[in-house]
Amino acid sequence: MKYLVTGGAGYVGSVVAAHLLEAGHEVTVLDDLSTGFREGVPAGARFIEGRVQDAARHLDASYDGVLHFAAFSQVGESVTDPEKYWVNNVGGTMALLAAMRDAGVRRLVFSSTAATYGEPVSTPVTETDPTAPTSPYGASKLAVDHMITGEARAHGLAAASLRYFNVAGAYGDCGERHDPESHLIPLVLQVALGGRQSISVYGDDYPTPDGTCVRDYIHVADLAEAHLLAMDAVTPGEHLICNLGNGNGFSVREVIETVREVTGHPVPEVVAARRAGDPAVLVASAVTARERLGWQPSRPDLAGIVADAWEFARKREAGR
C-alpha cells in the first residue's frame, strides 16, 4: 500500500513511518519541519518539505490512505496562544480532508489525544466518557474528531481517531526530541545525563497514593502497531474512536524512581506547584483497541519503556 504520513519528521510520525516501511508499504512523509527534524524521517521514505495546508499539491489517487500526525501539541503554549492551535490543527486538517476528498483517498488514521476528555469522570477512561477538554490543544483535537465524524458520514471516509495517553520510549533511531521538552520521561533522563540539576515534581498533594499525578505510559512502538491495525480495521462511513494506553497508571514519583533504577544515576527532585490543567489520574481503558483492532501492547513494562528512551537519549548526547 502507498501512504502519506503527515508530521512524519516528528516523534510519533517517524516511528509509525518506520513500521509502515518495515511492513513493506510505500511511504511519503509531508512535514514542514516546524517542530520535526529532517534526519528523523526514516530511510526509505520519500520526503516532501511542505505544509499539510498544501496537501492538495501532493495527494493523488495513487495513495491508499493518510496517517495524520502534523499538529502543534504543547498544552501550555495552547493556553497562551490558542489561535496558533486552531489555525494549524483545525485549519490544517480541514485542508487535508478536502484534498483527500478531491483526490479520492478514502482512508485516514488521525492522532487524537486523551486531552480531549479533560478531567476524567471515572477511571479507566472509556471512549464514551464525556469530552470536556481543559486546553485549546485538547479542544482543537476534539474539533478535528468531530470534523472527521462528519466527513465519514457525509462522504464515506473510513477513519480512526486514536486517542493516545502518554507516549514514551523510542524505536531504533526514532525518539522523543521536542524543543523545548515538556514531557516527564525525557526531562528526567536529561537530569540523569547531567544536563539538568533536578526534576520538578508538579504537585505532591493530589488524591493519589503518593500525592503525585498518575499517567498511563505507552511504548511508542506499541502505539505504532495500533496505527497499522487501525488502517486495516476501518470501513467506509465509519469513524472509529479508540483509546491507546496500557490500562496501568504510574505516578510521577514512580517514573523518577524507575529512571534512577534503569540509569543508575541519582536524580534529585524538587517539589513544585501543580501545573495548571493537569488531571490527577489519566488511565486508559484499552478494551476498544483490543476488541476492534485486536491490539495487545507487547511492551507495557515501565522499566523497558524508560530503558529504550534512555538508550535514545544517550545516543543523542554522544552524537552532539
Ligand X SMILES: O=c1ccn([C@@H]2O[C@H](COP(=O)(O)OP(=O)(O)O[C@H]3O[C@H](CO)[C@@H](O)[C@H](O)[C@H]3O)[C@@H](O)[C@H]2O)c(=O)[nH]1
Residues designated as active site: 137
- In terms of CB distance, is 36 or 133 closer to ligand NAD? 36
Beta strands in 114-185 (DSSP E): 158-164, 166-168
- Closer by beta carbon to ligand X, 105 or else 302: 302
Rounded CA Rg of the chain = 19
SS3 95: helix
The answer to whether 27 and 69 have CB atoms below 8 angstroms apart is no
**Contact call for residue 65 and ligand NAD (CB under 6 A):** no
113 contacts ligand NAD (rule: CB under 6 A): yes
By beta-carbon proximity to ligand NAD, the closer residue of 30 and 305 is 30
CA 145: distance to chain centroid?
15
b/e 81-115 (16+ beta carbons within 10 angstroms → b): eeebbeebbbebbbbbbebbbebebbbbbbbbbbb
Indicate the residue among 178 and 268 with the shorter CB distance to ligand NAD.
Answer: 178
13 binds, among ligand NAD, ligand X, none (CB under 5 to 8 A by kind): ligand NAD
Considering the complex, what minimum distance in angstroms separates the CB of residue 198 from ligand X?
10
Task: Give Cα 167 distance to the centre of its chain.
Answer: 6
Which candidate, 259, 272, 269, places its Cα nearest to that of 193? 259
The phi, psi pair for 256, rounded to 5°, reads: -60, -45
List the one residue from 22, 23, 34, 271 that touches ligand NAD (CB under 6 A): 34
Integer Cα distance of 119 and 138 in angstroms: 11
Task: Compose the 149-188 pattern: x for residues touching ligand NAD by CB under 6 A, - for all others.
Answer: ---------------x-xx----------x----------
111 binds, among ligand NAD, ligand X, none (CB under 5 to 8 A by kind): ligand NAD
Per CB under 6 A, which region of 68-76, 100-108, 258-266, 293-301 contacts ligand NAD? 68-76
For binding to ligand NAD (CB under 6 A), which residues are involved?
6-7, 9-13, 30-36, 51-53, 69-71, 73, 88, 92, 111, 113, 164, 166-167, 178
